[in-house]
Chains A and B, each alone.
Chain A
Amino acid sequence: MSVVAAAVCPHPPVLVPEVATGAAPELDDLRAACLTAIDRLADADRLVVVGSGSSRGQYDASAGGGFAPYGAPGVRFGTGDPVLPLSLAIGGWLLEQTKAAGLPRVYLSVAPDEAPADCLALGQEIAHGNDRIALLVMGDGSARRSEHSPVHLHPRSEIFDNTVASALAVADATTLAALDPDLATELHAAGRAPWQVLAATSDLTGELLYHAAPYGVGYFVATWT
Chain B
Amino acid sequence: MLLVGDPIGYVAQSSRVDRARWGRTARVGVVADELTGQGVLRLGRREFGPGEFALMAIVNRTPDSFYDRGATYATDKAYDAIARAVEHGADLVDIGGVKAGYGEPVSEAEELRRTVDFVAGIRARHPDLVISVDTYRSGVARQVGAAGADLINDTWAGADPEMAAAAAETGAGLVCSHVGGLTPRTDPHRMAYDDVVADVIRTTTALAEKAVAAGVRQDAIVIDPTHDFGKNTLQSLELTRRLDELVATGWPVLVAVSNKDFIGETLDLPPGQRGNGTLAALSVSAWLGARVFRVHDVPAARQALDLIAVLRGSAQPAGTRRSLA
Which residues of A line the B interface, CB within 8 A?
A: 12-14, 17-26, 28, 31-32, 35, 48, 58, 60-62, 70-71, 74-79, 93, 96-97, 102-106, 108, 122, 125-126, 128-129, 131, 133, 143, 149-150, 214-217
Question: Is A96 in contact with B15, judged by CB distance below 8 angstroms?
Answer: yes
Instruction: List, in ascending order, chain B residues with CB within 8 A of A18's CB.
Output: 18
Instruction: List, in ascending order, chain A residues with CB within 8 A of B24's CB.
Output: 17
Instruction: List, in ascending order, chain A residues with CB within 8 A of B316's CB.
Output: 21-22
Stretch of B6-14, B137-145, B187-195, B264-272 that contacts chain A: B6-14
- A177 to nearest B CB, angstroms? 19
A28-B22, A129-B5, A131-B4 known; A93+B17 contact, CB < 8 A:
yes
Question: Is A126 in contact with B2, judged by CB distance below 8 angstroms?
Answer: yes
Interface residues of B toward A: which range?
20 to 34
CB < 8 Å: which of A25, A32, A48, A79 contacts B26?
A: A25
CB < 8 Å: which of B9, B11, B17, B23 contacts A96?
A: B17
Question: Is A106 in contact with B318, judged by CB distance below 8 angstroms?
Answer: no
CB < 8 Å: which of A35, A75, A105, A129 contacts B4?
A: A129
Question: Is A97 in contact with B325, judged by CB distance below 8 angstroms?
Answer: no
CB < 8 Å: which of B4, B14, B22, B323 contacts A32?
A: B22
Question: Is A24 in contact with B5, judged by CB distance below 8 angstroms?
Answer: no
Instruction: List, in ascending order, chain B residues with CB within 8 A of A19's CB.
Output: 320, 324
CB < 8 Å: which of A48, A70, A133 contacts B324?
A: A70
A48-B3, A61-B9, A122-B2 known; A20+B15 contact, CB < 8 A:
no
Question: Is B1 in contact with A125, judged by CB distance below 8 angstroms?
Answer: yes
CB < 8 Å: which of A97, A105, A131 contacts B21?
A: A97
Instruction: List, in ascending order, chain B residues with CB within 8 A of A128's CB.
Output: 1, 4
A20-B324, A23-B321 known; A79+B10 contact, CB < 8 A:
no
CB < 8 Å: which of B1, B2, B318, B323 contacts A22?
A: B318
Question: Is B2 in contact with A62, judged by CB distance below 8 angstroms?
Answer: no
Q: How far is the CA of A129 from the CA of B8 in the complex (A)?
A: 17
CB < 8 Å: which of A58, A62, A129 contacts B13?
A: A62
Instruction: List, in ascending order, chain B residues with CB within 8 A of A35's CB.
Output: 21
Question: Is A75 in contact with B8, judged by CB distance below 8 angstroms?
Answer: no
Instruction: List, in ascending order, chain A residues with CB within 8 A of B28's CB.
Output: 22
CB closest residue in chain B, given A18: B18
Q: How far is the CA of A28 from the CA of B24 in the complex (A)?
A: 9
A58-B3, A128-B1 known; A216+B17 contact, CB < 8 A:
no
Question: Is A12 in contact with B319, judged by CB distance below 8 angstroms?
Answer: no
Instruction: List, in ascending order, chain B residues with CB within 8 A of A21's CB.
Output: 26, 316-320
Q: How far is the CA of A103 from the CA of B13 in the complex (A)?
A: 12
Question: Is A71 in contact with B4, judged by CB distance below 8 angstroms?
Answer: no
- A120 to nearest B CB, angstroms? 14
Instruction: List, in ascending order, chain B residues with CB within 8 A of A31's CB.
Output: 21-22
Question: Is A106 in contact with B6, judged by CB distance below 8 angstroms?
Answer: yes
Question: Is A26 in contact with B319, judged by CB distance below 8 angstroms?
Answer: yes
A-B contact pairs, 21 of them (CB 8 A): A21-B319, A22-B26, A22-B318, A22-B319, A23-B319, A24-B319, A32-B21, A35-B21, A78-B13, A78-B15, A96-B17, A97-B17, A97-B21, A106-B8, A125-B2, A126-B4, A128-B4, A129-B4, A149-B325, A214-B325, A217-B325
Please tell me if B19 contacts chain A, counting CB pairs below 8 Å. Answer: yes
Q: How far is the CA of A17 from the CA of B321 in the complex (A)?
A: 11
Please tell me if B45 contacts chain A, counting CB pairs below 8 Å. Answer: no
Question: Is B317 in contact with A22, judged by CB distance below 8 angstroms?
Answer: yes
A75-B16, A77-B15 known; A23+B9 contact, CB < 8 A:
no
Instruction: List, in ascending order, chain B residues with CB within 8 A of A125's CB.
Output: 1-4
Question: Is B10 in contact with A20, judged by CB distance below 8 angstroms?
Answer: no
Question: Is A74 in contact with B21, judged by CB distance below 8 angstroms?
Answer: no
CB < 8 Å: which of B9, B321, B323 contacts A20?
A: B321
Please tell me if B107 contacts chain A, counting CB pairs below 8 Å. Answer: no
The winner among A13, A21, A31, A103 for most chain B CB atoms within 10 A is A21
The winner among B13, B28, B318, B325 for most chain A CB atoms within 10 A is B325
Q: How far is the CA of A22 from the CA of B41 in the complex (A)?
A: 25
Instruction: List, in ascending order, chain B residues with CB within 8 A of A97's CB.
Output: 17, 19, 21
Question: Is A106 in contact with B17, judged by CB distance below 8 angstroms?
Answer: no
Question: Is B3 in contact with A24, judged by CB distance below 8 angstroms?
Answer: no
Question: Is B325 in contact with A216, judged by CB distance below 8 angstroms?
Answer: yes
- A129 to nearest B CB, angstroms? 4
Instruction: List, in ascending order, chain A residues with CB within 8 A of B13's CB.
Output: 61-62, 77-79, 96
